[in-house]
Structure 1
Amino acid sequence: MSNIQEKIDQERDQARAVCSTEGSTSSECAVAWDAVEELQAEAAHQRQEKPKSSLEKYCDDNPDAVECRIYDD
């Protein structure tokens, strides 16, 4: 997770540099900030972890239990 945060920080610094040289209304500036937003969205997505159900927890602890068997067709 810290790797993506480092990448966000790098992209943010780069976006600031691009916007200061190209202007805040330039398309290059918009593209640079879009890259930052995409990375931030990915980081948020990675933080969202679906909680396990009680059956999933039980099967993690007891993989050989009858309730946890998975049959192939």
Structure 2
Amino acid sequence: MSNIQEKIQEELQKAREACDVSGTNSKECAVAWDTVEELQAEAAHQKQAKGKNSLEIYCDDNPDAAECRIYDD
């Protein structure tokens, strides 16, 4: 996860530079900030995907519990 955070920081700096050079209403500035937003969305998605809900955590700790049984048809 730290790799994507480093990439976000790099793209933030590039976006600021692009806006300083080309102006805040330029196409280059907009594209640079779109890249930052896409990376931030991906980081949020990765963070969300890794979490387990309370039942999954319980079943990891108590695999023989009735709530955690898996029945084959």
TM-score by length of structure 2 reads 0.70
Q: CA RMSD in A?
A: 2.5
2:31 is matched with which residue? 31
- Following superposition of structure 1 onto structure 2, how do residues 1-73 of structure 1 map, counting pairs within 5 Å? 1-48=1-48, 49-51=50-52
Query: Counterparts of 1:23 and 1:57 in 2: how far apart (Å)?
Result: 50
Query: Counterparts of 1:5 and 1:29 in 2: how far apart (Å)?
Result: 20
Letter in 1 for 2:29: C
Aligned residues with identical type, % of pairs = 67
TM-score by length of structure 1 reads 0.70
| Per-residue deviation, 1:4 | 0.2
SS in structure 2 of the partner of residue 3 of structure 1: helix
| Per-residue deviation, 1:58 | 8.6
Query: Counterparts of 1:36 and 1:43 in 2: how far apart (Å)?
Result: 11
Gap change, CA 1:14 and 1:59, over 3 Å in 2: same
Higher helix share: 2
Query: Counterparts of 1:36 and 1:58 in 2: how far apart (Å)?
Result: 37
Aligned residues: 72
